[in-house]
Chains A and B, each alone.
Chain A
């Protein structure tokens, strides 16, 4: 193999590929990146056996071939050279690199030992706009559980039926759901699958251009391909809780507040929260305001009043401020609508007049 490319292109590609390579895997070849120039494009491949990535970088192939080299070594090396162009060449199992004043050899592995990527034989296919997918994933992953104990809760759910895609995640304390209506999709049968959180995080980093993505799934795997990359993730084996039944339909109290007000007041009050991160909210229709109160015996006490439109009963309820802010910041709307019933039942947050994103959060005891 012999190829020539702009260092920046190679560097960016390797940095992305390195993220998908394994860390501390027993098999050293899994910590490597596969540089494939067998055909007309240069591809970088890496995998940790849960996710796999293939990315195309611009460059010129002088002689076709391929090689496997440790990802970490190559990326550290590339991040420290300032030249413009670079030339890569194989020398048996080693990679020979030449730039202006540099000649380097990196020890590689036999390419036969690199894992074979699963074939993209998907049972279901559909396409999606990258921006929609990215928005949907980033708005929901905040609610996914960070613990691995229940794999279905540390995953993001996709539910596709007719022309509607629902993306949802929950850690059992809060739940986020994004609904996307797409003209490009029409599935007669309900498709639902769970993508592990790690896979989603990698996808979020990959999706930086607006393009049309091809998505395929089969029983165990998820395939995502864009113009310059292909991404594979395993699917979580498990059943997502039947979350639609916990979505409350009727509310005793509805409040509408300005997003900027509520965000800045929560942040302000967060200075004074105790170690449970709790802020007390009093939705008071008589005062036409949400009264918030934070108290920390070591720091002090803080209260504020946010003028809002409130209908229904007065209710006082306590929340973890991080959970609230996580959801509110995902809503792209000038006004935020709070819907609730009692101090022990979930609060539904959404943008005013917009049900495409719903964020449900459970309160804390003892308001």
Chain B
């Protein structure tokens, strides 16, 4: 007999013996919480019910429980808040909510976040658009949800800004919670972790802090690259990581670059990074056109924004870099057309977006060469010389690769640019780097950093 059955039968008997009003008042929202060694714990909704059942109905309750299970010796009463569903039933009558707050009044967005888990319920797997750029990460996430703590632990997701890392991370948390309400899930950014740690050190509550974190079944830490330079935080985090990992708890991390290319500073960091790499590493790259369009469609449906298909296509075409920029562009177009009260034509959309998009093609080959030279700390003019020193050859190849890849320069043009080299040299350089980038994640990150530099400098000019 389950606790619920037992209590239902006991209540059936009690209900016959007391008045309806008494029964409803004192036995509403009560239940058996626990039964062990002949001691039953009854959960009651408030202090009054506790006193009342203890003082007035105790013998009666004991008797009706014993009829069913003779071993029961004692009953404890404890106050528990009624479950959410029961509380809702109580308050089912609609209150007149502030009419004026509808729509136009902005609210504190942070409050949608569940304070227990720090998760934002709007991030779910259902709203996560899967394309070739993120399908690996998505599959790894599904595996983790299916089998938390067993496979793929820790899961490390990395990729550029605004590509949906946080969405995927939070969706993992939300999905695990959905399967099992009792799982202890917590999402935190590395920055907040560092702040909380600092506060607890100041307030001398470090013990509470540690205990809190060691309790979680799933810990999700976003943007771990910010742990760099914070030695004390790293140390604390490292210990926490070990504790959780050893007890088979699932850990999920994200970063804007692969663990290898997080600047290493000291021993702790190296140990931490090697631990993070022990599970599975997956990256999210930039979405291709079809995914961007699918994302725009899903976002506009979610926000109830109605824009013509051709406008969405145009946005997807123009904005290439990040999903966050896509969303921003969608909002901008939507607000503009709302206030102008008409459907914007292609030209208008273009002109609005061109103000917001970073010009991607404004980079010149010379700028790329200069950036590469600066990055590898060699004199710029040495790149143009026909030297075969390794420290020059490699940057030269990288510069060639970038000019070909980003600017689409022809091989003869590239050869010309580099002090009249043969076009086959350029072809060789391009193929060599594109092959290597597939195998060497360090190189990939270097390329990313270099690209960041010249794309940002030209944008600010």
- Which of B21, B95, B115 contacts A146, CB < 8 Å? B95
Q: How far is the CB of A162 from chain B (nearest CB, A)?
A: 8
B98:A25 contact, CB within 8 angstroms:
no
Q: Check: A277 CB closer than 8 A to any chain B CB.
A: yes
A249 proximal to B (CB < 8 A): no
- Min CB distance, B87 to chain A, in Å? 8
Determine whether B85 belongs to the interface, using a CB cutoff of 8 Å to chain A.
no
Chain B residues within 8 Å of A239, by CB? 115-116
B48 contacts A116, CB within 8 Å? yes
User: A266-281: contact bitstring with B at CB < 8 Å (1 yes, 0 no)?
Assistant: 0000000001111000
In the bound assembly, the distance between CA atoms of A219 and B81 in angstroms comes to 11
Task: Report if A149 contacts B (CB, 8 A).
Answer: yes
Q: Do residues A52 and B48 form an inter-chain contact, with CB atoms below 8 A?
A: yes
Distance (whole angstroms) from the CB of B116 to the closest CB of chain A: 6
* Interface residue tally for chain A (C-beta within 8 Å): 54
Q: Do A364 and B104 touch (CB < 8 A)?
A: yes
As a 0/1 sequence over residues 305 to 326 of chain A, the CB contacts with chain B under 8 angstroms (1 = contact) are: 0000000000000001000000
Interface pair B21/A28, CB less than 8 Å apart: yes
- Residue contact A26 to B25, C-beta cutoff 8 Å: yes
- Complex contacts, B116 vs chain A, CB 8 Å: 239
Residues in A with CB closer than 8 Å to B91 are: 148-149
Chain B interface residue bracket vs A? 35 or more
Complex Cα distance, B49 from A52, in Å, reads 13
**Would A246 and B110 count as touching, CB distance under 8 A?**
yes
The answer to whether B205 and A118 have CB atoms under 8 Å apart is no
* CB neighbors of B among A142-160 (8 A): 146-149, 151-153
Q: Which residues of A contact B110 (CB under 8 A)?
A: 241-242, 245-246
Distance from A123 Cβ to chain B, minimum over Cβ atoms (Å)? 13
A350 at the interface (CB under 8 A from B): no
Does B25 contact A30, Cβ atoms closer than 8 Å?
Answer: yes
Output the least CB separation between B333 and chain A (Å): 16
A260 within 8 A of B: no
Q: Scan B346-378; emit 1 where CB is below 8 A from any A CB, else 0.
A: 000000000000000000000000000000000
Report B112-128 CB contacts with A as 1/0, cut-off 8 Å. 01011000000000000
In the assembly, what is the distance between CA of A112 and CA of B144, in Å? 58
Q: Would you call B60 an interface residue if the criterion is a C-beta within 8 Å of the partner chain's C-beta atoms?
A: no
A26 touching B46 by the CB < 8 A rule? Answer: no
Instruction: Check A358 for interface membership: any CB of B closer than 8 A.
Output: no
CA distance A315 to B105 in the complex (A): 18
- Known interface pairs A173-B105, A362-B105; A219-B100 also in contact (CB < 8 Å): no
A49 touches B46 (CB 8 A): yes
- Measured between C-beta atoms, what is the minimum distance from A118 to chain B in Å? 3
Nearest CB of A to B192, in Å? 8
* B105 / chain A contacts, CB cutoff of 8 Å: 173, 276, 320, 362, 364-365
* B2 within 8 A of partner (CB): no
B residues less than 8 Å from A117 (CB atoms): 48, 51
Interface string of A111-151 (1 = CB under 8 A from B): 00001111100000000000000000000000000111101
CB of A70 within 8 Å of the partner chain: no
* In the bound complex, CA of A287 to CA of B182 (Å): 58
Q: Which residues from chain A contact B49 at a C-beta distance below 8 Å?
A: 49
The answer to whether the Cβ of A175 comes within 8 Å of any Cβ in the partner chain is yes
**From DSSP, what is the main secondary structure of chain A's interface residues?**
loop
Q: Report whether B104 and A278 are in contact in the complex, using a CB–CB cutoff of 8 Å.
A: yes
B22, CB-defined interface residue at 8 Å: yes
Residue B101 is within 8 A (CB to CB) of chain A in the complex: yes
Cα distance, A245 to B188, chains bound together (Å): 13
A27: which B residues are within 8 A, CB to CB?
Answer: 21-22, 24-25
- Asked if A189 is at the interface of the complex by the 8 Å CB criterion, the answer is yes
Q: A115-B52, A116-B52, A175-B108 are in contact. Are A219 and B22 (CB under 8 A)?
A: no
Shortest C-beta distance, A81 to chain B (Å), equals 32
Can you list, as one digit per residue, whether each of B83-117 has a CB less than 8 Å from chain A (1) or not (0)? 00001000100010110110111111011010110
Instruction: Name B50's contact: one of A118, A148, A246 (CB within 8 Å).
Output: A118
CA distance A246 to B107 in the complex (A): 11
A38 sits at the interface (CB 8 A): no
Instruction: State whether B113 touches A241 (Cβ < 8 A).
Output: yes
Q: Residue A237 at the B interface, CB < 8 A?
A: yes
Once the chains are docked, how many angstroms separate the CA of A257 from the CA of B209? 43
Contact of A365 among B24, B46, B104 (CB under 8 A): B104
Q: Which residues 25-74 in B have Cβ within 8 Å of A in the complex?
A: 25, 46-52, 55
Bound state CA distance, A148 and B79, in angstroms?
Answer: 21
| Complex CA–CA separation, A189 to B104 (angstroms) | 41
Which B residues touch A175, using CB under 8 A? 108
Would you list which residues of chain A between 19 and 45 have a CB under 8 Å from chain B?
25-28, 30
Q: Are A320 and B100 in contact (CB under 8 A)?
A: yes
Q: Which residues of B contact A149 (CB under 8 A)?
A: 91, 95
Cβ-based interface call for B203 (8 A): yes
**Whole-angstrom distance between the alpha carbons of A173 and B205 in the complex?**
32
Determine whether A161 belongs to the interface, using a CB cutoff of 8 Å to chain B. yes
24 A-B residue contacts at CB 8 Å?
A26-B20, A47-B48, A49-B46, A117-B51, A118-B51, A146-B95, A148-B91, A151-B87, A170-B108, A188-B204, A219-B79, A241-B108, A241-B110, A242-B110, A245-B110, A245-B192, A276-B105, A344-B106, A362-B105, A362-B107, A364-B105, A364-B106, A365-B103, A366-B339
12 A-B pairs besides A170-B108, A220-B47 with CB distance below 8 A are A25-B25, A50-B46, A115-B48, A116-B48, A116-B55, A118-B50, A161-B203, A241-B113, A276-B105, A277-B100, A320-B100, A366-B339
Which A residues have a C-beta under 8 Å from some C-beta of B? 25-28, 30, 47, 49-50, 52, 115-119, 146-149, 151-153, 161, 170, 172-173, 175, 188-190, 219-221, 232, 234, 237, 239-243, 245-246, 275-278, 320, 344, 346, 362-366
Residues of B within 8 A of A (CB): 20-22, 24-25, 46-52, 55, 79, 81, 87, 91, 95, 97-98, 100-101, 103-108, 110-111, 113, 115-116, 192, 203-205, 339
Considering the complex of A and B, which 7 residue pairs feature the smallest CB-CB distances, nearest first? A118-B47, A237-B81, A116-B51, A239-B115, A362-B106, A27-B25, A172-B107
